[in-house]
């Protein structure tokens, strides 16, 4: 086994995701409530989500490696259940509190991207071990390019009633 295969796979899952998905999520929040990171009444402290995302990047790859990918679904069910009440909220324009559907959509997009980066990280481990250099290069670069394109597209969609 190549010792660096897990380093590349887990590294992509954790670090590429940390930079790119965080940027997408922050942009989504800024489209809904500008400067929301500075408003604890609107959203929890940003560092909590960042810490959780790093842990998930490791957990998801590990779950896939040991054949327990269904545990990712169970984890997501727990995350959804914990915020269900908030997502039913109608929001409050004066308090700059977005409606629950907007918050839920940001949650879904962030989690979908985190799962994508984790899956690619998982596959990178296999591809590096099998010396499939084309996949090792093209798939992560494609995912990064598509994430960057999505990130650049988001601000043009700004239609929040809070702006």
pLDDT at 162: 44
Report the mean per-residue pLDDT for the chain: 88
Tell me the sheet residues that pair with 92: 97
Question: Is the sign of the CA dihedral 60, 63, 64, 70 positive or negative?
Answer: negative
pLDDT at 12: 97
Examine the pLDDT at 21 and tell me if it is beyond 80.
yes
Examine the pLDDT at 161 and tell me if it is beyond 60.
no
Examine the pLDDT at 40 and tell me if it is beyond 80.
no
**Contact status, residue 148 vs residue 20, Cβ threshold 8 Å:** yes
| pLDDT above 70 coverage of the chain, percent | 90
pLDDT at 95: 64
């Amino acid at each position: 086994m190549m010792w660096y295969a897990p380093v590349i796979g887990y590294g992509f899952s954790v670090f590429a995701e940390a930079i790119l998905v965080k940027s997408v999520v922050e942009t989504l929040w800024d489209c809904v409530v500008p400067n929301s990171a500075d408003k604890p009444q609107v959203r929890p402290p940003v560092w909590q989500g960042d810490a959780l995302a790093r842990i998930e990047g490791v957990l998801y790859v590990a779950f896939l490696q040991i054949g327990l990918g269904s545990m990712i679904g169970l984890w997501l069910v727990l995350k959804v259940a914990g915020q269900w009440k908030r997502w039913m909220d109608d929001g409050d324009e004066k308090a700059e509190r977005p409606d629950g559907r907007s918050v839920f959509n940001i949650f879904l997009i962030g989690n979908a991207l985190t799962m994508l980066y984790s899956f690619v990280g998982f596959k990178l481990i296999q591809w590096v071990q099998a010396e499939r250099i084309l996949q090792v290069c093209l798939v992560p670069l494609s995912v990064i390019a598509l994430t960057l394109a999505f990130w650049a597209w988001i601000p043009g969609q700004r239609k929040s009633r809070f702006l």
